[in-house]
Structure 1
Amino acid sequence: MDVLSAGTASDAEVPLDGELITRADRIFCMEARHRKAIRARFPTDAGGKSIINLGIPDRYRFMELALVELLQKKLDPYLRR
């Protein structure tokens, strides 16, 4: 499984772009506002893609243990398929 992470913010370490969206089999986001931003900025690339909102508040620091644990819990049902 190939996994990439990118951000919707303009100052993201790895900014999301149309190529990443096109290559993605599945797109996960932490909050509804991220899903809206992706659909608004990349309407063609994201048009037919399922963007799954994990419902995780975007308030954690990078690789914070609580975030990692929450991501594992929320992503597990999708990654078992």
Structure 2
Amino acid sequence: MANLLFICSKNQWRSPTAELLFKDHPEHKAYSAGTSDKARTRVNQKMIDRADVVFVMERKHKELLKQRFEIGNKPLIVLDIEDEYQFNDPELVKILQVVLSDYI
């Protein structure tokens, strides 16, 4: 079972929506967090260490993670999803399903 970590800014809309797509998934366990001090769940080194693959919504999240944490050689994938969706927005779900099709 692969551990997938989804990162956005405040862990309110995009990353929790991605995490929800993997609820009860037979092959993957998903977690989500944010980079902001105001994040619902703030990313930490333990989360990074536990993840097999880290997905970030924007390039700025990748840069923040690389500055703040030891990523090692694990995959760090930028999804290029702008912060313009609400939690579980049907359009966001469709985008995530397409970009994560190799995992879902």
**TM-score bin (small chain):** 0.7 to 0.9
Aligned length: 77
What stretches of structure 1 of length at least 5 have no aligned partner?
A: none
What stretches of structure 2 of length at least 5 have no aligned partner?
A: 1-27
Query: After the TM superposition, which residues 44-55 of structure 1 pair with which residues of structure 2 at under 5 Å, given as runs?
Result: 44=70, 46-55=71-80
- Which residue identity does 1:18 align to in structure 2? Q
* Alpha-carbon distance between aligned partners in 2 of 1:18 and 1:2, rounded to the nearest angstrom: 18
How far off its partner does 1:58 sit? Answer: 2.0
Between Structure 1 and Structure 2, the one with more helix by share is 1
1:39–1:47 CA contact under 8 A, matched in 2: no
Matched, 1:15 2:42: yes
Percent of pairs identical after alignment?
36
C-alpha RMSD of the superposition? 1.3
TM-score computed with the length of structure 1 as normaliser: 0.85
Query: After the TM superposition, which residues 54-73 of structure 1 pair with which residues of structure 2 at under 5 Å, given as runs?
Result: 54-73=79-98
Q: Which has the higher contact order (CA 8 A, sep 6+)?
A: 2
TM-score computed with the length of structure 2 as normaliser: 0.68
